[in-house]
Amino acid sequence: MAKLLPTVLLAPALMTATLLFSQTQAISPAWAGTCASRCGPKPLQFTPGQRVSVEVVNQTASLVQVQKVFGTDPVPMRPGQELKFVQGGGTEPNISVYFWDETALPLQARLSQPNPKTLRIEIRPGGRPPGDRSVYLLNDGRVAIF
């Protein structure tokens, strides 16, 4: 019996140690990161009611029609052409810009804010059909692509 006692006491200790060591190898450490390390770029934001200069650039190889809602008829833009207009302030409605390719190809809008009062819309080929069709500056100053 004296010879069995150390084995009986030692067996549970060995099993516990084995379980602990096998689980710690399977657990990978968690690495915390900041939002800046994993998040995309900061969304575009304008001050509601401010005058905004809008630049539209046709980066495609075909003719693109662009229309500023409540402001222009459709304007044809040749490849590489740039169109500028100012919108906002006072009682003018929000900015809505529609665009479409003359050959019905899908388009992709890339937005940037080169300065605090300028919205730049680069119209490029690509995207999934039907592609992007409009850019809208919301009442709260955010910009949405539809």
Note the pLDDT tens digit of each residue in 70-95: 777 899 999 999 999 887 665 566 78
pLDDT digits (tens, 9 = 90+) for 52-74: 899 999 999 999 999 988 777 89
Query: Could you give the number of structural domains in the chain?
Result: 1
Strands 118-125 and 52-58: parallel
CB 63 within 8 A of CB 77: yes
Give yes or no for residue 145 having a pLDDT over 80: yes
Please report whether residue 36 resides in a domain: no
Does 44 fall in a domain?
Answer: no
Residue with tokens 């300065």: 115
Residue 110 covered by a domain: yes
Which pLDDT value is given to residue 133?
95
Residue numbers of the domain that contains 121:
59-145
**Residue percentage of the chain with pLDDT more than 70:** 68
Distance CA 138, CA 128 (A): 24
In a domain, 102, yes or no: yes
Q: Say if residue 115's pLDDT is above 60.
A: yes
pLDDT band at 13 (very low <50, low <70, confident <90, very high): low
Domain membership of residue 47 (yes or no) is no
106 belongs to a structural domain: yes
Instruction: Please indicate, yes or no, if residue 133 is contained in any of the structural domains.
Output: yes
Between CA 116 and CA 132 the distance in angstroms is: 24
| Residue at 107 is within a domain | yes
